[in-house]
Structure 1
Amino acid sequence: MSFNPNQPGSRPMPPNYSQASGPQQPYAPQNQQYSQPQTHRGQPGYGSQQAYGAQSTPSGQPGYGPQPGYGPQPGYGMPQMHNPAMFDSRALPEHAYGPGSEQFWMAHKPDRTTALWTHLGSLIFGFMPLIMFIVKKDESPFVREHSRQGLNALITNTIVTFAALFVFGILGFMLALVTFGIGILIMYAALIVPLVYVVIYIIAAVAANRGEGYKFPLTINFVK
């Protein structure tokens, strides 16, 4: 019975979809799992992709997996050490000191500045060469040598100054007995020693700023 809008009492009948649409298929094949969907070109979908460590780029090169050069490298993050002989002052040649020695050291600007303030700081704090030698002796050959020279000069200056004060003190006391106290002024002659080392420290600071090595005169090598 068909539906006729002009005929009273008639009801619409549902269409026969099974005949019009043909045999229906389920939404997913029975033998295919959702973990391996197929793309439009027949390529495996997201569920069947390889792991990132085994992917390949369009050019055929390995993908994001372990690549040479990106893993832990031997010595990576470790400071580059210089020639071990440069950390031994007894192995340094003569051309490591004086004008032109900057070609031997090839010191960077931070090392030159550190060596500069090592000598200038010794004029203010006195013990600056000792601190810089302890901190930098295994890091920079240039700073190590300058701080070593400054430390030896500090030790020598201290010993010689106290010795001069003792000698000139006794001599001044003896002269004071004869000269009615005027001879005691000879004790101030002991101040010549630290003044000489002040000049040496300034010369060493200038050499350090130029990147040159400097061998302190009037100094005993207590620290090798």
Structure 2
Amino acid sequence: MLPLPDFSLMPMPRRQPPTKEQSALLPPFAILPPERIHVPTDDAGFAAAHAALRAASVLGFDTESRPVFTAGAADPGPDLMQLATPQGAWLLQLRHPQALALAREVLADAAILKVGFGLDNDRRSLPRRLGVEPQGLQDLDRVFARHGFGRNTGVRAAVALVLGQCLSKSKKTSTTNWSLPTLSPSQLRYAATDAHAPAVLWQALPAWEAAQPPLPPAGLRRPRRA
């Protein structure tokens, strides 16, 4: 009798997050109102941002960069760094020296956990842009990978999975010029939400993870049959 295949060598079936169409049927994610989206530009604004961000132990995190349309052009790094709590978001325009200093301070502090999605590029570009090594970055895509989802779950699907809500994202807004001195209302909403949603998700993740089915231990082998 021929031996049966070793099932331990076969990949486990991947769990599928909700599609965009399925997410659209869910209640909307509550985005921050304009008064809770802060873009500091003066001494008072930066002092308030410094106090709020340094007091946080966990911050939602994301960055935005101006689009590069020339093939082979060097990536200049982000123009905007977004940091958020569940209650508010701070958008640091890195062309401001005070914003750059505050971004460096928060990014280099390992005691402040910065949570977001798809952070591999940030790990590469931020040291060049800010001159510091990022500390305390937590890529939430890896949390979902632990539970059988792909390594690129993304914030939209994560909000649907964990919160049961629909997070709408504008592709058009994502490719706008983030180096502009004054950002449009749609840019402000988009940028704030990309940091605010991970902050809200982080609070809900422990309960969601506890409810997930256990996965087989790595390397678990099924017995062969003769």
| Superposition TM-score tier, normalisation by shorter sequence | under 0.3
Higher relative contact order (CA 8 A, sep 6+): 2
> Which structure has the bigger radius of gyration?
1
Larger helix fraction of residues = 1
